[in-house]
Amino acid sequence: MRSARDIARGVAAREFSAESVTREALGVIVRENSRVNAFTQVFHDFAIEQARRVDEDVAAGKPAGPLAGVPIALKDNICLSHGRTTCASRMLENYHSPFDATAARKLINAGAVVVGKTNLDEFAMGSSTEHSIFGPTRNPRDVTRVPGGSSGGSAAAVAAGMVPVAIGSDTGGSIRQPAAFCGLVGVKPTYGRVSRFGLVAYASSLDQIGPLARDCADAALVLDVLCGKDDHDATSADLPPPASLANVDEVLPGLVLGVPTQAWSPANHAGVTTALESSIAAYKKLGAKVIDIDLPLSDYAVAAYYIVAPAEASSNLARFDGVRYGRRAEGAKDLTDMLCKSRREGFGPEVRKRIMLGTHVLSSGYYDAYYTTALKVRRRVKDDFDAAFRAGCHAVLMPTTPGPAFAIGEKIGDALAMYMEDVYTVGVNLAGLPALSIPAGSMGASAAGGACVNLPIGVQLVGRAFDEARLMRIARMLERATDFAPAHAGGA
């Protein structure tokens, strides 16, 4: 499939129609989705209808939007008035949103064609897209392995060539980790850059919507559309979009990158260490200065995250009780029995576990010991990043994940092993900073431990708050120097 930029240019110039592009995308989805299970819903008629409206506007001489005719997939925790918004949960399996999320509306207004909703870990709680009522999503590079999570369906849809761009949400790495596992660029904007209105909340102080794409330029194009102040979201920043696409191809002179000592953890897979070393070498060849920095609170970020996020989830998911929202159990003896049965039937085991953990850390006698302490650690995590930027770093470079995509079922029974997949990503959410994952290498079957074509490895760049435009330029420098942009991992 063409890039999002090429599609938008071609549709605007009437070289081809939005409808033809949409039909092509829908055809690939029909062929590929049974293999990877990326989509929870495909909007065939709705997509064609959207595409025809774009073509009619172009034919009438109206200005084409920046995403004119670009097929896009939405993670199924982002509200859309068409179809259902399920969060991959029994609790919301029949929920029809009466409104569009601000992010969805911005995309549509920019000319994008929403072709469907993508699979995820239930309520975005997971790192593998195995916790879903629709079954696990499979990595297009090797269908025996996970695509990452929780935005695994969005990542798989792009990696398999079904759409050029997809939208995910990132609470602790849920865009960047799937991007790394599937060989994509995945961007988590600064907290407040993109409106959360219409995103079903997991942890409100951590959640952020962002794009997954095949290269930095496509990611920048979509990011610029998503960003901006929204009166429906009090946490959205009153700042103009970053205009990250305009200068994305410009080399940043005097670039200084900080590499944390924690990035060289002995727990890293050898391929991750090699990818990080190669990325450092590539940046140095481009004239960048690479310095050692210390992020001492990184070792505590996972523990703090798994207190703060479940605590907020416990509060946010209280509304799904069978009365106000969600599945209502039948045959209950009384109100209490109905509430208990509805939540037991509606929520899967991972969601129930996190709700109980969050309720516990907020309970009397434990609040100060756990939740208050975690908030103090959160503050210190941000202070560590701020110190690196005060030292002159334009960005921090580190691995995205400690290893490549793991086998389906390999870690689902080991909560600690699964949570440690987020060791390099959760601190960024705690600090509210922008970050992205970019392909930086791959490993073959023998190195990865199993039969596969090539498993991608990603590195992560973390930038200063609201500095997405410069962050995209820094990533683009590596992308152009190394050329790890993936070939389609499917039949597209």
pTM for this one? 0.96
HEC string for 115-146: EEEECCCHHHCCCCCCCCCCCCCCECCECCEC
pLDDT tens profile 27-54: 999 999 999 999 999 999 999 999 999 9
Residue 428 to residues 5, 69, 170, 297: CA-CA distances in angstroms? 29, 33, 10, 12
pLDDT of amino acid 295: 97
Sketch out the chain's domains with CATH numbers: 4-226 (3.90.1300.10)
pLDDT tens profile 192-219: 999 999 999 999 999 999 999 999 999 9
Tokens (6 digits) for 352: 């129930």
Query: Does residue 34 carry a catalytic annotation?
Result: no
Which residue of the set 132, 151, 174, 298 is catalytic?
Answer: 174
Find the helix or strand (DSSP H, E) in which 225 lies.
helix 216-226
pLDDT of amino acid 444: 64
Contact 309, 172 (CB under 8 A): yes
Quote the distance between the C-alpha of residue 408 and its chain's center: 19
What angle, 0 to 180 degrees and rounded to 10, lies between the N-to-C axes of helices 4-12 and 18-36? 150
Statement: residue 67 has pLDDT above 90: yes
Which residue of the set 75, 341, 382, 411 is catalytic?
Answer: 75
Query: Does residue 174 carry a catalytic annotation?
Result: yes
Statement: residue 483 has pLDDT above 90: no
Q: How far apart are CA 370 and CA 366, in angstroms?
A: 6
Q: How far apart are CA 119 and CA 155, in angstroms?
A: 10
pLDDT of amino acid 445: 42
Instruction: Indicate left, alpha or beta for 18 from its phi (over 0: left) and psi (-120 to 50: alpha).
Output: alpha
Statement: residue 96 has pLDDT above 90: yes
pLDDT of amino acid 1: 83
- Under the banding of pLDDT at 50, 70 and 90, the label for residue 302 is very high
Query: Does residue 150 carry a catalytic annotation?
Result: yes
- Under the banding of pLDDT at 50, 70 and 90, the label for residue 488 is low
Statement: residue 406 has pLDDT above 60: yes
Q: How far apart are CA 151 and CA 59, in angstroms?
A: 36
Query: 437: helix, coil or strand?
Result: strand
Residues in a beta bridge with 142: 139
pLDDT of amino acid 325: 85
326-335: long-range pairs with CB below 8 Å, 24+: 326/91, 326/92, 326/95, 327/90, 327/91, 327/92, 327/93
pLDDT of amino acid 446: 43
Percentage of the chain exceeding pLDDT 70: 96
Q: Which of 45-59, 144-158, 271-285, 442-456 has the lowest mean pLDDT?
A: 442-456
- Computed over every residue of the chain, the mean pLDDT equals 95
pLDDT of amino acid 489: 62
Which residue of the set 3, 97, 128, 150 is catalytic?
Answer: 150
Q: Taking residues 332-344, what's their average pLDDT? A: 93
Statement: residue 491 has pLDDT above 50: no
Report the alpha-carbon angle 6-7-8, nearest 5.
Answer: 95
Q: How far apart are CA 114 and CA 71, in angstroms?
A: 6
